[in-house]
Amino acid sequence: MCDTCGCNVTNGNRHLLQPAGKLEKTADGKSAVTVLQSLLSENDHQALHNRQHFDQHGVLAINLMSSPGSGKTALLEATIDALAGRYRIAVIEGDLETENDAERIRARGVTAIQIATGSACHLDAHMVHDALHRLNLADYDLVFIENVGNLVCPASFDLGHHHNITLLSVTEGDDKPAKYPIMFRAADLMLLTKTDLLAVLDDFEPQKAEQCLRQLANPAPMLSLSATRQQGLEAWFDWLDDAIASHRQRLEQGETVLPKIQSDGARWHTGEAGHP
Amino acid sequence: MHELSVCQSLLGQIELTARQHHASRVHRVSLKIGPLSGVEPQLLQQAFPIAVAGSIAETATLDIELLPIRLECRQCGAESEAAAANQLICGQCGHWQTRLLSGDEMLLASLELDRPTDEQTVNG
Ligand SMILES: Nc1nc2c(ncn2[C@@H]2O[C@H](COP(=O)(O)OP(=O)(O)OP(=O)(O)O)[C@@H](O)[C@H]2O)c(=O)[nH]1
Ligand SMILES: [Zn+2]
Ligand SMILES: [Zn+2]
Ligand SMILES: [Zn+2]
Ligand SMILES: [Zn+2]
């Protein structure tokens, strides 16, 4: 399935990737070498390659992130029930130990590839690549990657997907975006989940949660829903329809889209202006 | 939480650069880290000796330069420094529609090496 690496190094950005910049001598005669390379460059390179796999097959890939138990698998179940007739869907499940989530997805009649991360607190691009080679991408329109339940690490790793979605369940508190800014800054869409429980919670204010998101300079839409009670799902399905349609248009023009947070390495690859 | 895996990929880059410069030892490793990068400088410092044990950088010191979070306002155009990682609003007009200029970096900035050729160059 792997073709040659099509990494997009251009004349404009090549100098940024060259390990040897200036060679100087320090006071005690040692060589000082300027490097300026992203510490995640290996991951980012793999992510770029993963995105090419998706793009070659016209697949839209979405990374779901949240704290443990905020409803990622329940959202996938409700989404599959409603949209499996409209889109060909597959799921990549990242879990520390069990196959529980993958089995819940398979019970809906959809392919689920399980990545057991062992002790790792996040998925990285290499793990997703292994999963991709167990999946015939030509058979799908939409691939969801359910990341490990963790509001810290997953935000730092580009997996080669196109959009980041961060879930916040109403039982977690409306100040979570302020407490985990890196995760919520990365969201292309924030889903407020388990909103059926709002009735019994007296201190969760959806407006406050949205305000905290804006303080991170993030214009991402916030949608409220309950997966188990089937509330607010239409707006979420509309968002998905839109995302898939836009992605197909982009691909026709030979373009793709990077998730909101692209690491330094990804920026270099796309030749977009980097840091001074 | 993932600082050790970040250090392992750092070591890969150190070894590659050291090889390209025919270095025999790495004395100093300098990183530039932004508060929005998702790595904790302190945890990196702790993970570093573990990751480089037995390598060409075994005795190297790790310097971490913490970069500020700099923003450009899309409303008023002002540049400002963010007060905190969860306050990415314009320092001038307070608007939230800002663009990040720096603060999410996680870069290997420079290395200080010992090269066999250093002595020759120094001795003429
Ligand atoms: N009331 C209510 N409960 C929900 C809703 N969505 C999920 N839950 C419950 O929350 C619990 C966790 O849901 P999951 O879908 O497994 O959460 P997850 O994010 O996939 O969890 P991890 O994969 O372990 O991180 C389950 O008991 C669900 O039934 C919802 O919309 N309303
Ligand atoms: Zn491949
Ligand atoms: Zn789950
Ligand atoms: Zn991690
Ligand atoms: Zn302003």
Instruction: Write the pLDDT tens digit of every residue in B34-55.
Output: 999 999 999 999 999 999 999 9
Q: What is the pLDDT of residue A211?
A: 98
User: Residue A267: which pLDDT band, with cuts at 50, 70 and 90?
Assistant: low
Separation in Å, CA of B54 to nearest CA in chain A: 20
Ligand 1: atom nearest CA of A149 is 25
Q: How high is the ipTM of this complex?
A: 0.88
Q: What is the pLDDT of residue A117?
A: 75
Q: Which of A66, A39, A50 is CA-nearest to residue A258?
A: A50
**Among the partner residues B9, B85, B106, nearest to A42 by beta-carbon distance:** B9
Q: What is the pLDDT of residue A121?
A: 85
Instruction: Write the pLDDT tens digit of every residue in A143-194.
Output: 999 999 999 999 999 999 999 999 999 999 999 999 999 999 999 999 999 9
User: Residue A10: which pLDDT band, with cuts at 50, 70 and 90?
Assistant: very low
Ligand 1: atom nearest CA of A193 is 31
Instruction: Write the pLDDT tens digit of every residue in A82-138.
Output: 999 999 999 999 987 888 999 999 999 999 999 987 777 889 999 999 999 999 999
Contact yes or no for A264/A274 (Cβ under 8 A): yes
Question: Which ligand gives the minimal distance to the CA of A101?
Answer: 3
DSSP state of B21: T
Q: How far apart are CA A36 and CA B32, in angstroms?
A: 9
SS (H, E, C) chain A: CCCCCCCCCCCCCHHHHCCCCCEEECCCCCEEEEEEEECCHHHHHHHHHHHHHHHHCCCEEEEEECCCCCCHHHHHHHHHHHHCCCCCEEEEEEECCCCHHHHHHHCCCCEEEEEECCCCCCCCHHHHHHHHCCCCHHHCCEEEEECCCCCCHHHHCCCCCCEEEEEEEHHHCCCHHHHCHHHHHCCCEEEEECHHHHHHCCCCCHHHHHHHHHCCCCCCCEEECECCCCECHHHHHHHHHHHHHHHHHHHHCCCCCCCCCCCHHHHHHHCCCCCC
Backbone angles phi, psi at A215, to 5 degrees: -65, -15
- pLDDT of residue A29 exceeding 80, the answer is no
Q: Is A233 in the pocket of ligand 1 (CB under 6 A)?
A: no
Mean pLDDT across chain B, nearest whole number?
92
Q: Given CB atoms, is B122 within the 8 Å cutoff of chain A?
A: yes
Q: What is the pLDDT of residue A264?
A: 52
| Start-end of H helices in chain B | 3-20, 41-52, 116-123
Using CB atoms within 10 Å of the CB of residue A216, give its burial: 0 to 12 exposed, 13 to 18 middle, 19+ buried: buried
Q: How far apart are CA B39 and CA B104, in angstroms?
A: 10
Q: Given CB atoms, is B57 within the 8 Å cutoff of chain A?
A: no
Residue of B nearest to A273 (CA): B101
Lowest mean pLDDT among A163-172, A261-270, B13-22, B26-35: A261-270
Residue of A nearest to B97 (CA): A217
In this prediction, residues B95-105 reach a mean pLDDT of 95
Distance B3 CA to ligand 4 centre (A): 8
- pLDDT of residue A210 exceeding 50, the answer is yes
Question: Which ligand gives the minimal distance to the CA of A49?
Answer: 2
Q: What is the pLDDT of residue A273?
A: 39
Q: Is A169 in the pocket of ligand 1 (CB under 6 A)?
A: no
Instruction: Write the pLDDT tens digit of every residue in B43-90.
Output: 999 999 999 999 999 999 999 999 999 999 999 999 999 999 999 999
Contact yes or no for A23/B21 (Cβ under 8 A): yes
- pLDDT of residue B100 exceeding 60, the answer is yes
What contacts A100, CB < 8 A, 6 or more positions away?
none
* More confident call, A180 vs A261: A180
**Total Cβ atoms within 10 A of residue A61:** 26
Q: What is the pLDDT of residue B115?
A: 80
User: Residue A6: which pLDDT band, with cuts at 50, 70 and 90?
Assistant: very low
Contacts of A264 in chain B (CB under 8 A): 104-107
SS (H, E, C) B94-115: CCCCEEEEECCCEEEEEEEEEC
Instruction: Write the pLDDT tens digit of every residue in A83-95.
Output: 999 999 999 999 8
Q: Give the CA distances from residue A45 to residues A8, A129, A166, B110, in Å, rounded to whole numbers and listed in that order.
A: 10, 11, 24, 21
Q: Which of A73, A91, A148, A225 to mutate to test ligand 1, by most ligand atoms within 8 A of the CB atom?
A: A73
Q: Give the CA distances from residue A50 to residues A128, A151, B2, in Å, rounded to whole numbers and listed in that order.
A: 8, 23, 21
Task: Kindly report the protein residue whose alpha carbon is nearest to atom 11 of ligand 1.
Answer: A69
Q: How far apart are CA A31 and CA A25, in angstroms?
A: 5
Q: What is the pLDDT of residue B1?
A: 63
Q: How far apart are CA A244 and CA A266, in angstroms?
A: 22
- Name the percent of chain A lying above pLDDT 90: 74
Q: Is the dihedral of CA B57, B69, A150, A110 positive or negative?
A: negative
In this prediction, residues A17-29 reach a mean pLDDT of 62
Q: Give the environment of ion ligand 4: residues with CB less than 5 A.
A: A 121-122, 153; B 1-2
Mean pLDDT across chain A, nearest whole number?
88
- pLDDT of residue B30 exceeding 60, the answer is yes
Q: Given CB atoms, is B88 within the 8 Å cutoff of chain A?
A: yes
Q: Which residue has the tokens 């650069």?
A: B17
- pLDDT of residue B124 exceeding 50, the answer is no
- pLDDT of residue A215 exceeding 60, the answer is yes
* pTM metric for this prediction: 0.90
Q: What is the CA radius of gyration of chain A?
A: 20
Contacts of A118 in chain B (CB under 8 A): none
In this prediction, residues A245-256 reach a mean pLDDT of 96
How many Cβ pairs closer than 8 A exist between chain A and B?
A: 130
Q: How far apart are CA A155 and CA A187, in angstroms?
A: 9
